[in-house]
Structure formats: C-alpha cells, structure tokens
Amino acid sequence: MKKIILILFACLSLQPLFAQKSEIGFMLGTSFYLGDLNPSGVFKQSQFAGGFVYRYNFTPRWALKANVYFGKVQASDAETNKGYERNLSFNSPITEISAQVELNFLRLYNVPSKNHFAPYIFAGISLFSFNPRAELDGQSYDLQHLGTEGQGLEGQRKFYSLCNAAIPFGIGLKVNIAKFMCIGVEWGMRFTFTDYLDDVSGTYYDNYLLQEARGEFVAKLADRSATLHEAGAGRGNSTTKDFYSFAGATITFKIGNEDRSCDIRYNARKKVHHRLGKKN
C-alpha cells in the first residue's frame, strides 16, 4: 500500500507546466439499480438524476473529483424480473457524497495546440442514503422500519441502516471547450455494502406471526405472492450485494488555482514566429 501511495504521489507531482485548475459544475442524467428485483437489466426503470461536481486537475493525466448526486431507483418482479411470482416492488431516493480519482488515457490540456479531449476511468469511495418504499392499496409505505423480513422481532436480525458506503467505478469522456469550460459524459456503477437497497435480502418470516406483531398491511407487504411462502423460504439472495448507477452529462467551469506558464510559453513562441515572419 505504501508503494502504491508513493507511486501515485510521484505521478501527481509530474509535469509542472500543466495549467492547474479547479472545476465546478453539475451533472444531469439517469440512475438505476441492480439487485434481487432487477438482476441484470442495465438501465431498466431508469429515473432522472442530477447533482454537483467539483474537480481538481493535478496533471494532464490525474484528477480528483468530488460529487454530490441525487437520484431515484426502482424495480419490480413484474417488470424487471421476468414476472417472478414473488411479486415484490420498491422505489427509493438516493443521495450520494463521493470522492473519486480519475485517470485520463490521453494527456488533457486547456491551451491551444495541445490535446483537449480524453477518455478516462475512475474509482473512489462514496457514502449514500436510501429509503426503500412500496405501494399497497394506493398508499406508499417506508419499508425499513416495518421489518418485512422480521427484523427487530425476538431472535431476528436488527433493522438495516439507511446510510451505507459504496465503491464507485466507471468510465467517461471529457472535452475542454474554449478556455474555461469542460463538457463530458460519464457512466459509473456503485458496488454497495448492503443487500437491502430494495428491502429484499434473506428469508420469509412467518406471515401469520408478522401479522400479529406488526399488522395486516406489513404482512401483505412482506409476501405479495399468490400463495404465501413458508417461514424460512428464500425471499432474496443474501450472498450478493446491491448495485446502483449514475450516468449522464457533465458541464464544469474552470476556476482559480491557475498556473499560466503554459499560455506564456505558447504566446512567447507565437510572438517569435511573428517577428521572424516580419524579418523575412
């Protein structure tokens, strides 16, 4: 780990002639989820997403980015899981705070005569909040505190947290426009450390006992299949974790922290060529 940190520090210290800049802007796009209710449908049930972006470019290859993103995810066995008879559904808002490191495949500059676009990859760490909900008889219910898998009852697991961590990773393309603007497109997945983004993970709790302890509406939300499952039957796959994704377009504006040495040298060369042209 120490060697990796030293190598990264050395890379970020290279190329002092690069015009160091901060960027601030926003993202507009979509969000979706992969998990028990949508095991493989990439971009299925996508919802509108957006947020704010801050980027600091250390070198033409390396940048540090911070995000605050807002989105929504949803899925159902009926629409995104091939009509699976379990018949569960959910939707949840997502709020994410993230820090990421970007590596450009090409050197990216914002001065004339130098490359002004670059595909890149990124990875980092994020904290996010969520709150799975489901509808029953035209009314929406927050699911976490209801304990649809028996959470909180005697001998059962605790209620899961509505705040968790994730590892974002993905790809993108950046293009420097003029001198003070950068536009891009980006797609990133988030590997989460929870299997309850959709409120589905473990096994069915005894539906009759759940009804006695929590009420009829909780029992109905817990098991919505045509035939009630026996206690202990699989409700979800607890061996896997959930994913969510943000994809969209970014627009950022360069501010402050500028080293103009690149521009000065470029302008100096331009003046020399101009004078030589006059002499000739």
Residue-level pLDDT, tens digit, the chain, 280 residues: 444 344 444 444 444 434 458 999 999 999 999 999 999 999 999 999 999 999 999 999 999 999 999 999 999 999 999 999 999 999 999 999 999 999 999 999 877 778 899 999 999 999 999 999 999 999 999 999 999 999 999 999 999 999 999 999 999 999 999 788 999 999 999 999 999 999 999 999 999 999 999 999 999 999 999 999 999 999 999 999 999 999 999 999 998 755 443 343 334 445 445 555 555 5
Answer yes or no: is 155 within a domain: yes
Q: How many CB atoms lie within 10 A of CB 150?
A: 21
For position 101, which CATH number holds? 2.40.160.20
Answer yes or no: is 69 within a domain: yes
Answer yes or no: is 270 within a domain: yes
List the domain range (segments joined by +) for residue 146. 20-279
Answer yes or no: is 2 within a domain: no
Give the pLDDT score at 280: 53
Answer yes or no: is 13 within a domain: no
**Nearest to 188, CA basis, from 241, 131, 248, 130:** 248
Yes or no: say if 26 and 250 are a contact pair by the CB < 8 Å rule.
Answer: yes
List of E strands, 105-255: 117-130, 133-136, 139-142, 163-177, 181-192, 243-255
Answer yes or no: is 140 within a domain: yes
Answer yes or no: is 10 within a domain: no
| Alpha carbon distance 161, 197 (integer Å) | 10
Q: What's the total number of domains in the chain?
A: 1
Separation of CA 59 from chain center:
24
> pTM of the predicted model, to two decimals?
0.83
Q: How many CB atoms lie within 10 A of CB 238?
A: 15
Answer yes or no: is 14 within a domain: no
Position of tokens 């101009």?
Answer: 274
| Alpha carbon distance 44, 263 (integer Å) | 46
